Amino acid sequence: MIDKQELSSHHYKKRLNMDISYIIAPLLGGVIGYITNDIAIRMLFRPHTAKYVFGIHIPFTPGIIPKEKGRIAEAIGGVISENLMNKEVLEKYLLSEDMIGKIRSAVEEFIATQQRNNETVSQFLGHYLSKEEIDTISQNINQSITKQTYEKLADSSVGEKVAHIAIDHVAQKLTIDGAQELLSGIGGALGGFGGMAAGLFGGNIVAKFLGMLREPAEHFLAKNINTMLRDNGEEIVSNMIGGEVDNFLNKPVSKLLEGHEEQLAQAVNTIESIYRSIITEHLPKILDSIDISKIVRERINEMDVNETEKLIFQVMDKELKAIVWLGALLGLVMGSINCFV
């Protein structure tokens, strides 16, 4: 006959074992769930290469991502080019009021900064171009303007026009009254005879005499001007243009913009209009010339598996950890349920 004390001890041990199983089973389920999910996530990337034992390929090697890297790259490239980087999406974003506002603000801020900029134009350009490039541009501008100007001077009757203007100016100085004054001066110098000549001939005679000299004087002056332009015109024009270019480059940016507030305000609208035109008219052509899907695909394929793994874990670290702990939670729940089944 079993002793009551032994029976009580046996019952106690049985109950204790049951209580421990209630604790161990959920904990064991949780640990198994945690480890299983952690291994599953790691198997997405590892191993990086196929493994063999005695020439037999071990299943699930390499990891899913290294094994299917090409297909994954193809799929991601297609999704990005068709849904994220297509004409409609980009145009909507680039022409949104927010983007237009940012562009206008940037242009206005740039203009306001330059209105306070005491740097010379040459110094300002020095932020974007080398001194050699600035000198080359300056020389090209000088040569281009000099050539065009000289060709126009050579093809036109510049000498005749300049001579005509010069003789007209002289003629205005030698009016009838001016001729009379000239004769009076001569009369005073020559005494009575000169005074008599002035009285006899008068200003009209002198003016007519000067008129007779006008045509040969113009011809002589025009000939000399044309000769000078032919022989030295290009050098003269080049020196003049060079001087103006140097003055421009040495002028402060702020001084250059002074008095042009209305034009600068209009420039903001002009730049916005150009931007809208570029996006509307040229964005489709730009996208057609750029194979976004190919670029994404090649970039993913070029990435090292370790680099890809590191990138994904950086982006999805919290989510992946949540999946691991979710496995632990599910294991804990299943272990608990198993205790009561």
Residue 266 pLDDT more than 90? yes
pLDDT score, position 304: 82
Residue 91 pLDDT more than 80? yes
pLDDT score, position 195: 46
% residues pLDDT > 70 (the chain) = 74
Residue 55 pLDDT more than 70? yes
Q: What is the pLDDT of residues 305-324, one digit of tens each?
A: 788 778 777 878 888 888 88
pLDDT score, position 197: 46
Q: What is the pLDDT of residues 178-233, one digit of tens each?
A: 554 554 554 444 444 444 444 444 445 555 555 666 677 677 777 777 777 667 77
Residue 157 pLDDT more than 60? yes
- Specify whether the CB–CB gap between 269 and 108 falls below 8 A: no
Name the residue among 43, 236, 48 with its Cα closest to residue 146.
236
260 DSSP 8-state letter: -
> What string of DSSP letters covers 282-328?
IHHHHHHHS-HHHHHHHHHHHS-HHHHHHHHHHHHHHHHHHHHHHHH
For residues 88 and 98, give the distance between their C-alpha atoms in angstroms, rounded to a whole number.
17
% residues pLDDT > 90 (the chain) = 16
Written as six digits, the tokens of 309 are: 């793994």
Which residue did the predictor score with more confidence, 255 or 200?
255
pLDDT score, position 274: 93
Query: Which residues, 6 or more positions from 208, have their beta carbon under 8 angstroms from its beta carbon?
Result: none
Q: What is the pLDDT of residues 94-151, one digit of tens each?
A: 999 999 999 999 999 999 999 999 999 999 999 988 989 988 988 888 888 888 877 7
Q: How confident is the model at residue 15 (pLDDT cuts 50, 70, 90)?
A: low
pLDDT score, position 117: 93
Per-residue pLDDT, averaged over 55-77, amounts to 84
For residues 154 and 152, give the distance between their C-alpha atoms in angstroms, rounded to a whole number.
5
Per-residue pLDDT, averaged over 70-90, amounts to 84
Which residue did the predictor score with more confidence, 169 or 61?
61
Identify the sign of the CA torsion 298, 303, 305, 311: negative
pLDDT score, position 201: 46
pTM of the model: 0.52
